[in-house]
Amino acid sequence: MMPEQRALVTNRDIEALAAQAAMQTPGVLRLEPTIRDLLGRIGPTGAARSGQGANRLHEGVVATINDGIARVHLDIATDITYTALQVAQTVQDRVCQGIRKTGLIPGNVDISILAIEPANATG
């Protein structure tokens, strides 16, 4: 009998999972790219993260995996008609649930709300 094969979960996989969880949460308008995203793409630590460098797909999301623990930071904009704290807590819960499904342990899931605005705002 063959031992069970465990799929390799990368930082990029966790970033995609977190981005999807956030964007499917009522009250989240968008992910917010920041200077941290730019530095993460061009700096030595960004390039070293699983060889991703400038190929990051999810601006506003940074994930790291160490010793089976996935840590995530999301920068988001929320809809003014929702309570920002409740939106952030729901995003945290959804991201943690998704991480558990990968077989990893959720670490810190930090949410920064960078904007609170009407859903129909242009900009």
CATH fold for domain 29-117: Alpha-Beta Plaits (3.30.70)
Handedness of CA 68, 64, 53, 44 (dihedral sign): negative
3-state secondary structure of 99: helix
For 4, phi and psi rounded to 5 degrees? Answer: -65, 130
For the chain, what percent of residues have pLDDT higher than 70?
73
The domains of the chain are located at 29-117
Average pLDDT over residues 39-58: 51
In sequence order, the 6+-apart residues with CB closer than 8 A to the CB of 113 are 76, 77, 78, 84, 87, 88
Average pLDDT over residues 117-123: 77
59-114 pLDDT, tens digit per residue, is 899 999 999 999 999 999 999 999 999 999 999 999 999 999 999 999 999 999 99
Average pLDDT over residues 1-5: 44
pTM higher than 0.85, yes or no? no
3-state secondary structure of 38: helix
- Give the per-residue pLDDT at 118: 94
